[in-house]
Amino acid sequence: MRNTGTIPHRVTMLRLPDDLPPLDEQLKGTERRPISPFAGIYDRLPGREGTFAVDLAPGQRYGMVCFIVDEGGSHAVRGMSTEFRAPGTPP
């Protein structure tokens, strides 16, 4: 993970259940379900980079979210999130 911006970021990876609405809806909606972090990196300052490694389960849904809050609000709610499904077929 490389922070090419001008402010710190904190990226967290989440394992998303299949019955969870899209991550963007969870972040911006009024009804939210708790999700435990799966992996992440400490605050990454501007110009800095770091790595983390995870074993992804085939076919599992995951999300990545920046949980920093600054004077502009939550980075996650402002769009700094994404979700994806790990390649492969579940066992």
Condensed to tens digits (0 to 9), the pLDDT of residues 6-37 reads 889 888 999 999 999 999 888 888 888 888 88
For residue 34 the two structure tokens come to 């708790």
For residue 9 the two structure tokens come to 């970021």
Q: Do residues 81 and 66 touch, judged by C-beta distance below 8 A?
A: yes
The whole-number average pLDDT for the span 29-48 is 86
Of residues 6, 11, 7, the one with CA closest to residue 50:
11
Residue 25 is given by DSSP the state H
What average pLDDT does the chain have?
88
pLDDT at 90 exceeding the cut of 80: no
Straight-line distance from the first to the last Cα atom of the chain, in angstroms, rounded to the nearest whole number: 29
